Amino acid sequence: MKTKAIFFILVLAVTTVFTACEKEETPKPEINNFELGYENNKTVHAGEDLHIDAEIVALGKIDRIQIVIHKHHHEHEHKSLTALKHAAEWELDTVYTKFSGLKNTRFHEHIDIPEHAEEGEYAVHFIVIDMEGNTGSIDDELEIKHEHN
């Protein structure tokens, strides 16, 4: 009888430890209704502002939102020419912390695109990092144009 009682207590203790150690994972942040450019046209003229809009749900609470924009490079370009172009190209890497601590928010910002930004195709990375380190992201493409009068 003593053996059964000790075995029962041991099983109960092990079950309690494993149950207590299980941590429910927080899902990564969700980005919905992402809009890049006015009416989601994915274009902007150099010297104007780029409209970005998205609905964010982050059960782990938003820590920061990062936007990275850089020029697309094609593999057929000569490497030394590409290296020279990298030095003069416009790119953006900015972080927004004003949404920190929120679970749900609407991100609506306008980013100034300088007049000297080279015309062409750009990659856009919209990244939401929550306070638990989970990351949700959207990758999209943007075309920067110059006014032709």
Structure tokens belonging to residue 116? 């000297």
The answer to whether residue 55 is domain-embedded is yes
Decide if pLDDT at 16 tops 90: no
The answer to whether residue 17 is domain-embedded is no
In whole numbers, what is the pLDDT of the chain averaged over residues? Answer: 85
The answer to whether residue 123 is domain-embedded is yes
Instruction: State which residues form the domain around 59.
Output: 26-145
Give the pLDDT confidence of 77-93 residue by residue, as tens digits. 444 455 545 446 899 99
Q: Which among 62, 45, 82 has a CA at the least distance from the CA of 126?
A: 62
The count of structural domains within the chain is 1
The answer to whether residue 128 is domain-embedded is yes
Structure tokens belonging to residue 31? 């980005």
The per-residue pLDDT for 84 is 46
**Residue 41 is part of a domain; what is its CATH number?**
2.70.50.30
The answer to whether residue 51 is domain-embedded is yes
The answer to whether residue 16 is domain-embedded is no
Give the pLDDT confidence of 33-75 residue by residue, as tens digits. 999 999 999 999 999 999 999 999 999 999 999 999 999 865 5
Q: What is the 3-state secondary structure (H, E, C) of 38-73?
A: HHHCCEEECCCEEEEEEEEECCCCEEEEEEEEEECC
Single pTM value for the model: 0.76
Decide if pLDDT at 14 tops 90: no
Decide if pLDDT at 76 tops 90: no
